[in-house]
Amino acid sequence: MDQMNQFNQNAFQQQYRPMTLGDWLITLLIQAIPLVGFIMLFVWAFGGDTHPSKKTWAQASLLFALIMLVLVIIFFAAMWSFFMSFFSGYNMNYSS
């Protein structure tokens, strides 16, 4: 069993090639394009032929974007509620 485990580990090390600096620069450049970058995050996160490091990074980026979206919605809902309660006491009828 130990030989099989060592064989699998050697096969993985031969197939796995870390992403280079150039790979990451191209990835970040593509990700910076407004609509294309967002679509590519989904392709990289859920695509089958994506480098494992890029796949994990894309999944983390999407999760972070989702968390930030929820926080922004909560913030704007709180601000809307504050302003509506603040201005609800004013009477906008100026006729005398």
Mean pLDDT of 16-36: 94
Please check whether residue 30 is in contact with residue 36, taking contact to mean a CB–CB distance below 8 angstroms: yes
Helix, strand or coil, per DSSP, at residue 25: helix
Angle (nearest 5°) at CA 20 between 65 and 42: 30
Which pair of structure tokens corresponds to residue 74? 């909560």
Please enumerate in sequence order all residues whose Cβ is within 8 A of that of 30, keeping only pairs 6 or more positions apart, or say none. Answer: 36, 37, 40
Rounded-to-10 torsion of CA 79, 80, 81, 86: 90
Residue 61 CA, distance from chain mean position:
2
Query: Residue 12's pLDDT is what?
Result: 58
Residue 92 pLDDT class (50, 70, 90 cuts)? low
Which residue intervals of 16-93 are DSSP H helices? Answer: 21-32, 34-46, 52-87
Query: Residue 16's pLDDT is what?
Result: 77
pLDDT at 79 over 60: yes
- When the pLDDT of each residue in the chain is averaged and rounded to a whole number, the result is 86
Query: Residue 96's pLDDT is what?
Result: 54
